[in-house]
Amino acid sequence: MNQSSWFDVGGESSLKVLWEDGERVFCRRESHADGYRAAVLAVLPAAEHPTPATLDSLAREYGLKDELDGAWALRPLELVRERGRIMLVLEDTSSEPLDRLLGMPMEVRSFLRIAIAVAAALTQVHRRGLVHKDIKPANILVNRTTGEVKLTGFGIASRLPRERQAPAPPEVIAGTLAYMAPEQTGRMNRSVDSRSDLYALGVTFYELLTGTLPFTAADPMEWVHCHIARQPAPPDERVAGLPGPLSAIVIKLLAKTGEERYQTAAGVEADLRRCLAEWERHGRIVPRGPIVYLLGLRGNGRAVDQSGQKRTGVRAREPRHAIL
């Protein structure tokens, strides 16, 4: 991409490149309106000749502007064309993408504070009747000063409560293969719904806690196989001293079927808040009572104890604390 060919206006740079994620370029731009001067984010396709799907995703995200709240999302302000390029203008919150913090295992307290904020933001997305379908660190923005977290990348979000992904070559499936739920690959007889976002949340949390993805793959079909058939190593097996309950939360999020995952982002947030309270009070996180995986969900709807045995007379549901 030859950035200077369209970032410069009148010989002076009007856009300052902040970061790229492979598909999009995020820039800061000065906006002048009603006598006030304020910075906004401009999102442009990374390619010189973007595909129709890339252009459609920017337009789709702008079309959701009335459903996205600035408290938990980067709110679209305008969709403009400038010098032959399409540009999505977003509110600027002085944040940076979460993927800039990857590479090393994150300290437990820092992880919990970010994870709670991400789960809370995703709860609001789902309460608006949206399925994001592309949760990943590059679409999570963090303000290191305030701790605020906001989501972006709503270009393939769905207003449908559930939908089927038609079988297609993995190279053309919308989303990011490394973070994609099994049902989103189109190779399972299951619908995509809000729990698909929770799987991607699990991949993100795994990466924050361990510094690595739960799977590695050399090509798109191998990514699909990993999500459908391979089991990840628990995070506490990769990072010595990582609290077991945190590892259990992540592994539950990474269950192959939606029925075995958390059922809501609010349930994830509740468990994470209890983990943070325990960590700050005692410097450790212990399970609540003798049942480690409290009312752990199975496909048949029966509650199970730590050994996997059914608990007689108890129907499974997601309680306030789904794991701990």
Nearest Cα neighbor of 79 from 40, 47, 48, 51 is 40
Pairing mode, strands 85-91 and 36-45? antiparallel
- Nearest Cα to Cα of residue 147 among 186, 109, 187, 90: 109
Question: For the packed helices 265-282 and 194-210, what is the interaxial angle rounded to 10 degrees?
Answer: 30
CATH number of the domain at 96-315, please?
1.10.510.10
Q: Give me the pLDDT at residue 94, please.
A: 85
pLDDT at 9: 40
Pick the CATH number of 13-91 from 3.30.200.20, 3.30.540.10, 3.40.50.2300, 1.10.1040.50: 3.30.200.20
Q: What is the pLDDT of residue 11?
A: 34
Digit-by-digit pLDDT tens for the chain (324 residues) are 444 333 444 333 467 888 888 788 898 877 565 666 677 888 999 888 888 888 899 999 999 999 999 999 999 999 988 777 788 999 988 889 999 889 899 999 999 999 999 999 999 999 999 999 999 999 999 998 888 999 999 999 998 866 766 666 766 667 789 999 999 987 777 889 999 999 999 999 999 999 999 999 999 999 999 999 999 999 999 999 999 999 999 999 999 999 999 999 999 999 999 999 999 998 999 876 433 344 343 333 333 333 334 444 433 445 444 556
**Residue-range domain boundaries for the chain:** 13-91, 96-315
Catalytic residues: 134
